[in-house]
Structure 1
């Protein structure tokens, strides 16, 4: 039986959110975990109107969309909106005006406090809603132009393909991922649309996270694999937690099982795959817990509204079970980048190597640019990293290929140990890998012990930094 067609709203995405604020009214929408200040859905709409009014007064335009200096130049930005604690480090930027959010949200009159914002700008489905930069894990970040229709399509896809099947009602969730990251921002908007209570957390610490889960009886969290590693090892029970959503990087089978064994209250461990160019996710674990438990390590199935194909190096589709590059298309996929050329036509090349099994579950093998060859045989860093993370002494791991005169490349691992109580030597960890993997995957490039790995804001290891920079390391 064919699935029902996906219903995608035609009204602008921000209007959908404001209408939701009307529906949920006086219910609590947002709570700041530090100040404990809360905003109702009515408050969110009022402050949104206030901010839009101020933008209109000072001449913020619809069309004008490095580090920071590069980003400003590329987007031709005229304004930066920041909180007061960021103002000092933004001084001296040329050609832009810094607007303090605290000032913008203070109403000048009581009429403005209650007034509706009336826009004279025509906004349609193809209008740009957001222009985020890609994460830049393997190259220079690119500015993706995401439209209202992209956001509406992505939201309808996830609602139909995932959340409607999770029996999600009015839930409390920790907003731990940064709002300048695609997953964190979309999750915030979705919670506003669906009437959920988001507790906003600035920064991450294990103790703080556990405290807030208990205090607010958190039922859903949206995390990255590095946080799952922590959760799988903490002793404290979390009886309210029943849904864990994990993206940004592959989550291995062993780690998935360890998390669920440690915390039996978790009914659904949802893994997903996505990127900035598709708003949030194109794949997710199906809601059926019984079905999902047999597919740990998979990023799930293709969500409704997307098409996918897997191709080899010459662009030919591969057979089921074979590895190739994932290509995507659908209404949630961006039409173009801001600077890097013409609008995208046809299929979006993801740059990720995947395989799909007979049941339609996708497995991320690695980034196409991260895979290297040892004596002509392909090596996936992710496979070695998953094995290293299963070792009790290792908290974080990253693997790269380094040039070798005889083999072409050999694997080198960078690891962060869990604590001083672990006395494993580099030789013992190398032997741990030798005992479990084929010879061309052995760590012949060495093991380096570091205090921390270079990470993006979304929790991904920046392999290019490991490749390009000299890291001061000490061997155990």
Structure 2
């Protein structure tokens, strides 16, 4: 069906999704699909080549679910994982869904303070960890002083007499929360984003229909990321295989591409740049038919580099939001028209998706804009999040119930969307969200600093380098920018370092309402005016 556009009100309305998710929920569907795939390959170790079948994966997930149930876990609880990418990292995640339990994930590379904040937002009953992350998680639990059990994943996968008669939980409402992801939303520090069964199943259905299905996906990110969780669930529902690398390493990824012939990769621009710069001479990319790119703005020079590194691959640019369960715009590979758009509009992030309505509004007046007029993208759909966990979510929506994406975009006459910038306060460093408020709080602990503002300076490789503008309490202070950088560096993890430096200023420009306009201040810095 062809999307319909409101020619009078400039609202783009697409047809309702021609799909009804199974009312029994995500866990039930996963269980049934895994049973049907038997000895098909589910996972391949991207370093050793070892293979894992759906039968064996299902057996371990059921054993884990039974273990959880014996520990008192029910559909009312939350289970968390903190694992790198390996054969068993998805086991407690899937097992929780089998029980109708809400599930979330942390990334082992997160700093201790980050994890403390996240666990204060969403406190799980159990956290399943790799042995390497056990000490870190125990430290954070001691700080939040909550009763949370920590279990090393590999220690509980034992045979159980009940596994042959196990039955998954059946939900009563597909709009109940299934998964909680952590993201900063439109403002502030990370929040728990509640994604329901309907949203995830519907987005996977759209993904299948877009022609993105692939026999073997190469992945290297943890389940902390919505894209990684989405690929796990989508491959299971389709019976595809995943080739696993523990974490991003360009040499390991290139080796896996050459040895194990994945047909699909999903990358963010940062990964693309590093991959292109480290491509071995003998690398064979001919197996990669589909290359998904999203997560942040992709500039044309990066696009050309990717096409050179993967000359036979179909590039598939997309734009998504965690709050939307995955994609907001993408191109349909099955559509000849969309395939032409990918070639002729290389910086576009895709076109409209069935089941989503779109409007672009003026940032100041909220007037609904037409084609080629930049403004904030807002969307309305049943895929949208249920809300923020245990928090007021009203700030995420406008008065008419549209989700405020916080992104500056425009669309052209063909309804192809272009993402220009983020209106959100946070920045991305190597695809990680870095909330400036966190670094600003660290800066304000310095005895010589009166006020501080952190901005992101564009960087071709990392996305953004954080820079601090600080106003000193005493103009005669002898503190230097380098000393302030070192003060911050001792108190933050690597991604929050002030790689853009520190600038001592007499004052920080504020708007009439007393708020700092980060984007305008950043532009002033880039122009040398501040």
TM-score range, shorter chain: 0.7 to 0.9
Aligned counterpart for 2:261 among listed residues 199, 217, 221:
217
- Tell me, in whole angstroms, the C-alpha distance in 1 between the residues paired with 2:311 and 2:116: 47
CA contact (8 A) 2:329 2:352 kept: yes
CA contact (8 A) 1:176 1:223 kept: no
3-state SS of the aligned residue for 1:297? coil
Residue 187 of structure 1 is matched in structure 2 by: 231
Residue 110 of structure 2 is matched in structure 1 by: none
Aligned counterpart for 1:6 among listed residues 12, 18, 28:
18
Residue 153 of structure 2 is matched in structure 1 by: 101
Residue 261 of structure 1 is matched in structure 2 by: 308
Q: How far apart are 1:364 and its partner, in Å?
A: 0.5
Q: How far apart are 1:159 and its partner, in Å?
A: 2.3
3-state SS of the aligned residue for 2:368? coil
Aligned counterpart for 2:386 among listed residues 322, 335, 356:
335
1:303 aligns with 2:303: no
CA contact (8 A) 2:469 2:502 kept: no
Q: Deviations over 1:79-113 (max 9, x none)?
A: 211122322333352421112211222124xx345
> CA 1:177–1:135 in structure 2 vs 1: closer, same or farther (change >3 Å)?
farther
Q: How far apart are 1:135 and its partner, in Å?
A: 4.9
Q: How far apart are 1:469 and its partner, in Å?
A: 8.4
Residue 217 of structure 2 is matched in structure 1 by: 173
- Is the deviation greater in 177-186 or in 151-160? 151-160
1:317 aligns with 2:368: yes
Residue 284 of structure 1 is matched in structure 2 by: 330
3-state SS of the aligned residue for 1:282? strand
1:132 aligns with 2:184: no
Aligned counterpart for 2:205 among listed residues 124, 149, 156:
156
3-state SS of the aligned residue for 1:131? strand
Q: How far apart are 1:26 and its partner, in Å?
A: 0.6
Counterparts of 1:53-64 in structure 2 under 5 Å? 53-64=66-77
- Is the deviation greater in 70-79 or in 246-255? 70-79
3-state SS of the aligned residue for 1:292? helix
> CA 1:365–1:197 in structure 2 vs 1: closer, same or farther (change >3 Å)?
same
3-state SS of the aligned residue for 2:410? strand
Residue 117 of structure 1 is matched in structure 2 by: 166
> CA 1:122–1:269 in structure 2 vs 1: closer, same or farther (change >3 Å)?
closer
Q: How far apart are 1:128 and its partner, in Å?
A: 1.2
1:201 aligns with 2:249: no
CA contact (8 A) 1:52 1:117 kept: no
- Tell me, in whole angstroms, the C-alpha distance in 2 between the residues paired with 1:360 and 1:338: 33
Aligned counterpart for 1:246 among listed residues 281, 284, 293:
293
- Is the deviation greater in 237-246 or in 297-306? 237-246
- TM-score after normalising by structure 1: 0.74
Structure 2 gaps of 5+ residues are 4-14, 79-112, 427-454, 472-488, 504-530
- Tell me, in whole angstroms, the C-alpha distance in 1 between the residues paired with 2:376 and 2:227: 22
CA contact (8 A) 1:283 1:299 kept: yes
- Tell me, in whole angstroms, the C-alpha distance in 1 between the residues paired with 2:265 and 2:154: 28
- Tell me, in whole angstroms, the C-alpha distance in 2 between the residues paired with 1:191 and 1:52: 20
- Tell me, in whole angstroms, the C-alpha distance in 2 between the residues paired with 1:294 and 1:468: 35
CA contact (8 A) 1:154 1:281 kept: yes
Structure 1 gaps of 5+ residues are 372-380, 390-394, 406-452, 472-476
- Tell me, in whole angstroms, the C-alpha distance in 1 between the residues paired with 2:169 and 2:347: 49
